[in-house]
């Protein structure tokens, strides 16, 4: 009973501290909220939930229409760039010439200049002719120019595909001593264009003609929102970081009580030191339990994060709690006074969070070396486990990182408790 009294007193103290509440509950939600807002979570996002940035494109179309066929491929490219389908993420204006387009980028009035050369249509119609479209872009940008390049490459591949079809037909007919003629060329153009349009209109749909796309079996489907794909790991990173921080912050109360003398006063009462230490440990465990539950539920409600199947979530929550409580007690056992505590907690937790990949979760896939290093800290195993749980991996797969976390937690707990017992003996 005394254990619970001590634990409840500590919890009450923690909940009364605005600093602790901010640190344990508000900051993880706030950081994830900022990412949510950044990537289109507060309206404005597309149907897939991801809000694509608007890229300002300036087009310098210097193309001269083919004299015989009248084809102006440059105009076709410009029309596609100005089409309604692309209007949600491309804001297209026209420049008088190449110099004006380049100046618009240099003066930061546009993000990407599409410079269509004079011989562009010729490359479409004359055998052996070639042309290159230049994309001149702001060097601080990568995503916008990447999107424009993908769009242009798609158009170029369509044009090149037609040109190559016409060229090989002409070559093969020539080998048989025949010529193509304008009617055949026109028929080829119609057939190829219809086929290419069919390829593009069904791309991404279930009837995608190029590939049959699926996610890992039993996992999310490829139709899941990209925003959820970023937010889930980000929130998992924040959950782990702040739960471990919360555990260590609560465990610090032993040091605080020692410093202000209440621990010594408590030891004059008929309370065994094992009970006092036990109460402190229970408070750490209960605090991180409450923190985890609040963060899991609130993030699921606010950001619609799907943490996974109940069995995986329970296994990960419990193992993370043991690891966070054990790690907190171990770190606190090295802290001599509360002045040292802030630096120790800040330094150790930040370092472990970094090594464990918590700050880049959702954005970067860890490379081989980072992946190996992340296994030396419980944070890395926790992130691995939550990622598996969120992707609805089988419980046997989730249990591997959960078991490692549990083992680490128990080990930290035993060492931390021994150090504290020795210190307060």
Nearer to other proteins, 77 or 321 (CB): 77
Tokens of 4: 């619970």
Compute how many other C-beta atoms are within 10 angstroms of the C-beta atom of residue 76: 17
Smallest distance from other proteins to CB 258, Å: 20
In the complex with other proteins, which residue's Cβ is closer, 163 or 280? Answer: 163
C-alpha 254/C-alpha 248 separation (Å) is 11
Distance in angstroms (rounded) separating the CA atoms of residues 64 and 103: 22
Q: How far apart are CA 186 and CA 37, in angstroms?
A: 50
**Of 231 and 321, which CB lies nearer to other proteins in the complex structure?**
231
- Position of tokens 């249990």? 399
Q: For other proteins, which stretch binds (CB under 8 A), given 45-53, 239-247, 255-263, 415-423?
A: 45-53
Question: Given the rule CB under 8 A, which of 26-34, 306-314, 319-327, 407-415 is the region that contacts other proteins?
Answer: 26-34
Quick note: the x/- pattern for other proteins over 379-418, rule CB under 8 A, is: ---------x--x-x---x---------------------
Residue 351: CB minimum distance to other proteins, A: 7
- Cβ partners under 8 Å of residue 100, min gap 6: 58, 60
To the nearest 10 degrees (0 to 180), the angle between helices 2-16 and 273-303 is 50
**Least distance to other proteins from the beta carbon of 252, Å?**
14
User: Could you identify the residue written with the tokens 């509440």?
Assistant: 21
The 178-197 contact track toward other proteins, x by CB under 8 A, reads x-x---x--xx--xx--xx-
Determine the angle formed by the axes of helices 310-334 and 378-390, rounding to 10 degrees. Answer: 170
Nearer to other proteins, 152 or 322 (CB): 152
- Closest to other proteins by CB, 370 vs 424, is 370
Q: Shortest distance, CB of residue 291 to other proteins, whole angstroms?
A: 17
Stretch 256-315 residues interacting with other proteins (CB under 8 A): none
Mask 206-245, x = binds other proteins (CB under 8 A)? --xxxxxxxxxxxxx-x-xxx-xxx---------------
Query: Residue 270 in contact with residue 416, Cβ under 8 Å?
Result: no
What is the x/- site pattern for other proteins, positions 316-345, by CB under 8 A?
Answer: ------------------------x--x--
Nearest to 387 by CA among 270, 233, 244: 233
Report residue 58 as tokens.
């300036």
In whole angstroms, the minimum distance from the beta carbon of 27 to other proteins comes to 7
Greatest C-alpha distance within the chain: 111
Number of residues forming the site for other proteins (CB under 8 A): 119
CA–CA dist 89, 310 (Å, integer): 39
Handedness of CA 107, 112, 116, 117 (dihedral sign): positive
What is the Cα–Cα distance from 291 to 79, expressed in whole angstroms? 54
Contact in structure between 349 and 244 (CB atoms under 8 Å): yes
Minimum distance from residue 157 beta carbon to other proteins (Å): 6
Spatial separation of the C-alpha atoms in residues 153 and 86, rounded to whole Å: 15
Q: Which residue in 83, 202, 267, 365 binds other proteins (CB under 8 A)? A: 365
The nearest distance, CB 356 to other proteins, in angstroms, is 11
Supply the minimum distance, in Å, between the C-beta of residue 191 and other proteins: 6
Write out the binding residues for other proteins, residues 342-361 only, by CB under 8 A: 343, 346-347, 350-351, 354, 357, 359-360
Measured from the CB atom, the residue of 180 and 411 that comes closer to other proteins is 180
Looking at beta carbons only, is 68 or 217 nearer to other proteins? 217
Q: How far is the CB of 340 from other proteins (least distance, A)?
A: 8
**115: alpha, beta or left, given left = phi > 0 and alpha = psi -120 to 50?**
beta
Closest approach, Cβ 108 to other proteins, in A, equals: 9
- What are 90's strand-pairing partners? 55
Span 117-176, contacts to other proteins by CB under 8 A: 120, 123-124, 129-145, 149-150, 152-154, 156-157, 159-161, 163-165, 167-169, 171-173, 176
Spatial separation of the C-alpha atoms in residues 419 and 413, rounded to whole Å:
10
């Amino acid at each position: 009973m005394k254990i619970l009294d001590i634990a409840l007193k500590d919890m009450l103290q923690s909940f009364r501290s605005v600093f602790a509440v901010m640190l344990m509950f508000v900051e993880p939600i706030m950081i994830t909220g900022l990412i949510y807002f950044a990537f289109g979570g507060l309206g404005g996002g597309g149907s897939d939930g991801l809000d694509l940035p608007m890229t300002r494109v300036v087009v310098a179309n210097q193309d001269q229409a083919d004299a015989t066929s009248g084809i102006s491929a440059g105009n076709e490219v410009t029309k596609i760039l100005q089409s309604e389908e692309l209007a949600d993420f491309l804001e297209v204006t026209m420049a008088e010439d190449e110099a004006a387009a380049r100046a618009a980028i240099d003066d930061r009035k546009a993000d990407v200049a599409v410079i269509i050369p004079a011989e562009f249509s010729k490359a479409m119609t004359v055998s052996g002719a070639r042309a290159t479209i230049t994309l001149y872009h702001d060097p601080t940008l990568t995503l916008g120019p990447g999107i424009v390049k993908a769009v242009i490459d798609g158009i170029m591949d369509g044009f090149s595909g037609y040109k190559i079809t016409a060229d090989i037909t002409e070559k093969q007919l020539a080998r048989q001593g025949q010529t193509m003629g304008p009617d055949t060329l026109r028929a080829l153009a119609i057939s190829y264009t219809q086929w290419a349009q069919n390829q593009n209109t069904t791309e991404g749909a279930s009837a995608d003609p190029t590939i049959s796309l699926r996610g890992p079996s039993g996992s999310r489907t490829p139709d899941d929102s990209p925003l959820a794909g970023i937010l889930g790991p980000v929130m998992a990173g924040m959950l782990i970081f702040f739960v471990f921080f919360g555990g260590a912050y609560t465990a610090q109360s032993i040091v605080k009580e020692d410093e202000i003398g209440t621990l010594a006063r408590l030891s004059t009462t008929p309370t065994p030191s094992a009970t006092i230490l036990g109460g402190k440990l229970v408070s750490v465990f209960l605090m991180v339990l409450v923190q985890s539950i609040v963060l899991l539920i609130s993030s699921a409600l606010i950001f619609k994060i799907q943490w996974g199947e109940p069995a995986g979530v329970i296994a990960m929550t419990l193992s993370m709690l043991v690891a966070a409580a054990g790690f907190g007690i171990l770190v606190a056992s090295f802290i001599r006074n509360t002045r040292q505590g802030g630096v120790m907690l800040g330094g150790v937790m930040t370092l472990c969070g970094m090594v464990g990949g918590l700050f880049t979760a959702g954005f970067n896939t860890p490379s081989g070396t980072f992946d190996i290093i992340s296994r030396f800290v419980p944070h890395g195993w926790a992130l691995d486990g939550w990622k598996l749980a969120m992707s609805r991996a089988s419980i046997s797969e989730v249990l591997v990182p959960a078991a490692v976390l549990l083992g680490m937690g128990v080990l930290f707990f035993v060492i931390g408790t021994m150090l504290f017992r020795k210190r307060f003996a």
